[in-house]
Amino acid sequence: MSASDKKPAKKKKDDAFLKDYDSRTEKMNLSYDLAGAACYFPFFPLASYFWLQNEAKTNEFLRFNSIQSIVMFSIWLVFGVVLGTIKAVVDQIPYVGAIIGILFLIIQIMISVGYGIGCIRLGFTTKAGKKAKIPIMSKQVEEYMKKNPTSDNGESVKAITQDEEQNP
């Protein structure tokens, strides 16, 4: 059996997260996969904020990647501030403080490198049109999106109950 006789592997349902692969963003005319990958540009989540503000709020793909990258950046930033503050305090201790401070610096560097590698990995996964998942965070982002759907004009969509419909 030659290599040309093999059938291509079927895609899983999760692989087809980006349903309309060839669609383009409204403002910058980028393909959705490239726009989603731009959300994960390490250390500068400006693209995520831009997509959340300017693109159609019903675009689940861009919204998911934007929210997830902003949460990821926020967690990295909080860890950096907390570890930097602890390092600054510990550095004030004579002799031992310098050694402990170096350990905190090494931890900060390791977290930053891990964050950068994670962003690159998630960017390539998103560029392929697949759902970039982070074990706990992705589940929380999906729950947030279900609880807070938005309309095209950016306002929150609220489900109207029968009582509210009868008594406005």
Whole-number Cα distances in Å, 20 to 8, 24, 31, 112: 21, 9, 10, 34
Half-sphere exposure (Cβ direction) of 103: Cα atoms closer than 13 Å: 7
* Among the listed residues 15, 26, 14, 102, the one whose alpha carbon sits nearest the alpha carbon of residue 57: 26
Q: Model-level pTM?
A: 0.70
pLDDT tens track for 38-52: 888 877 778 888 888
**Banded pLDDT at 11 (limits 50, 70, 90):** very low
pLDDT(5) > 80: no
pLDDT tens track for 71-104: 899 999 999 999 999 989 998 988 888 899 899 9
